[in-house]
Amino acid sequence: MADDGLITLPSAHGVKDTIDRLEAGVKSKGMTVFARIDHAAGAKEVGLALRPTELLIFGNAKAGTPLMQASQTIGIDLPLKALAFEDPAGKVWLCYNDPAWLAARHGIEAGEIIKTMAAALAALSKQAAGA
């Protein structure tokens, strides 16, 4: 579990490609993509500059609902999110919240759903990042 709850890994791809790859992986696992937000495009619309930054919001009610039944406050952290961004040196990173950290934050025992969610996120993120 990451100390701050955030798992960050380097990507071998650009921001758009990283999120494209993650989105394809998420959909291939039967999860729903709720939104994709291009923060850099939003910044540009208001005359501000931001390095490439995209957020993917996704999930699965079959996994998320039991967690919310255990503690409805986890709904603030669900659906899941992953962020790809380019740092000042041009390196691309992919990050997401550690499901075990989310469970602990909301007083939920890290049971089978959390372990499965963590394993799936790790695999999907590594595949998307090309790590």
Which pTM does this prediction carry?
0.94
pLDDT, tens only, 77-116: 999 999 999 999 999 999 999 999 999 999 998 889 999 9
Domain 6-129 annotated CATH 3.30.310.70: yes
Tokens of 32: 């729903």
Q: How far apart are the first and last CA of the chain?
A: 19
What single DSSP character describes residue 7?
E
Q: Express as a percent the part of the chain with pLDDT over 90.
A: 94
Q: How far is Cα 19 from Cα 54, in angstroms, rounded to an integer?
A: 7
- What's the confidence (pLDDT) of residue 2? 58
**Annotated domain spans of the chain:** 6-129
Which stretches of 60-122 are assigned E, i.e. beta strand?
80-86, 92-97
